[in-house]
Amino acid sequence: MHAEIVVLPGDGIGPEVTAAAAAVLRTVGQRYRHRFDLHEHAIGGAAIDAHGDPLPEKTLAACRNADAVLLGAVGGPQWSDPQAKVRPEQGLLALRKALGLYANLRPVRPHPATLGAAPIKPHLLAGVDLLVVRELTGGIYFGDKTRDADGASDVCRYSVAEVERVVRRACVLARQRRGHVTSVDKANVLETSRLWREVATRVARDEFSDVTIEHQLVDSMAMHLLSKPRAFDVVVTENMFGDILTDEASMLAGSMGLLPSASLGDGRVGLYEPIHGSAPDIAGRGIANPCGAILSAAMLLRHSLGLELEAGCVERAVSAALEDGILTRDLAPERGVGTVRFAAEVIERIGADCHVAELRD
């Protein structure tokens, strides 16, 4: 197949991890005879520096015309002055909104080889396989903001339709998994959460009789996620709760560097990015863990290009590298390998168990 893929490296470790993921995509293209055209564009702080805009027109147009977008991360201390008029993160939020990417899928499947790095007892982690579906284009991130001499406000608003579509997406995904949805809210305090709970209950009851739904308050969910992570299948929640709970969930896997994500809407283009940020504390040292970015590329192959078998090959190659003890420094501080070496080890294993003839038969 022929696919146009836009790569948005961004800031900090973004260019380091996207280079690794792009190399993996090129390898998949070569080994399985696909033509993947990868084109880089500016976003975030790098785009502010080059064009004065965190999401230049040219970048947005390229994303709209692509089959898929792979992103690293945006942000960093040099653009974080509280007085700054324009911030890197605005570019990412504007891109998600412009492409209508309301459902952010963040799978969490701790690998046996990284359990030792997780600050949770290993017996709680064996068999954990959950999928957080985070609402991505609504809520407090996108409400009106005010600031005056006395204070500031951020409005949190959800429409019925916004809740319906993301809950529907979560229920469809649950059907393909273990059939259970946990909807997370703060319905004991927030009106938006009471709406969320009502709509989620109705959608599940009326449209998904084969899916069970339970509701959980976000504060206790933060605790259950660590104390009984195996209890969860699909977790659906609003924008900010999903952001926070998935950074927490990365500790089930062992590192922020491990978790991938796919942002999907009803349109053609999907956006794929690791859940971590630009990690200014380690940027430029060649030690970032590229797993989240590489596994995001696997999600790109699956969700945007329909290449399920190739996606599986990439996931198994990552898994095999970890099993063989190839770990980056976040997971093995003493003996960890660098970003480039980890990517090379993954690339070497792509197709080891999956040859082109078998894929096409």
Ligand X SMILES: NC(=O)c1ccc[n+]([C@@H]2O[C@H](COP(=O)([O-])OP(=O)(O)OC[C@H]3O[C@@H](n4cnc5c(N)ncnc54)[C@H](O)[C@@H]3O)[C@@H](O)[C@H]2O)c1
- Contacting positions for ligand IPM (CB under 6 A): 75, 89, 92-93, 243, 275, 277
Among 23, 303, 330, 351, binds ligand X (CB under 6 A): 330
Nearest one of 38, 13, 26 to 339, comparing CA atoms: 13
Closer CB to Mg ion, 74 or 320, in the complex: 74
Residue 330 contacts Mg ion per CB under 5 A: no
Q: Which residues are annotated as a binding site for NAD(+)?
A: 76-89, 277-289
Closer CB to ligand X, 113 or 307, in the complex: 113
Q: Which residues are annotated as a binding site for substrate?
A: 96, 106, 134, 219
Among 68, 279, 301, 318, binds ligand X (CB under 6 A): 279
Tell me how far, at minimum, the Cβ of 152 lies from ligand IPM, in Å. Answer: 18
Are 254 and 331 contacting, i.e. CB atoms less than 8 angstroms apart? Answer: yes
Catalytic residue among 37, 49, 219, 353: 219
Tell me how far, at minimum, the Cβ of 72 lies from ligand X, in Å. Answer: 7
Residue 243 contacts Mg ion per CB under 5 A: yes
Give the 3-state DSSP-derived string for 317-345, with helices as H, strands as E and coil as C. HHHHHHHCCCCECCCCCCCCECHHHHHHH
- Amino acid found at 175: R
Are 63 and 235 contacting, i.e. CB atoms less than 8 angstroms apart? Answer: no
**Residue 317: is it exposed, middle or buried by C-beta count within 10 angstroms (0-12/13-18/19+)?**
buried
Residue 11 contacts Mg ion per CB under 5 A: no
Residue 73 contacts ligand X per CB under 6 A: yes
Closer CB to ligand X, 200 or 253, in the complex: 253
Q: Taking the CB of residue 255, how many other CB atoms lie within 10 A of it?
A: 20
Among 81, 148, 210, 281, binds ligand X (CB under 6 A): 281
Catalytic residue among 11, 53, 185, 186: 186
The phi, psi pair for 118, rounded to 5°, reads -80, 135
If contact means CB under 5 to 8 A according to the sort of partner, which of ligand X, Mg ion, ligand IPM, none does residue 288 touch? ligand X
Residues of the chain by 3-state class (helix, strand, coil), percent to 5: 45, 15, 35
Are 266 and 136 contacting, i.e. CB atoms less than 8 angstroms apart? Answer: no
Closer CB to ligand IPM, 75 or 351, in the complex: 75
Tell me how far, at minimum, the Cβ of 323 lies from ligand IPM, in Å. Answer: 28
Catalytic annotation on 247?
A: yes
Nearest one of 106, 111, 72 to 260, comparing CA atoms: 106
| Pair of tokens at residue 184 | 């997370």
Count residues near Mg ion (CB under 5 A).
1
Q: Give the Cα separation of 178 and 210 in Å (integer).
A: 10
Say what the alpha-carbon torsion angle 232, 236, 241, 242 is, to the nearest 10 degrees.
80
Q: Which residues are annotated as a binding site?
A: 76-89, 96, 106, 134, 219, 243, 247, 277-289
Tell me how far, at minimum, the Cβ of 241 lies from ligand IPM, in Å. Answer: 11
Q: For binding to ligand X (CB under 6 A), which residues are involved? A: 13, 17, 73-76, 89, 92, 255-257, 273, 276-282, 288-289, 292, 330
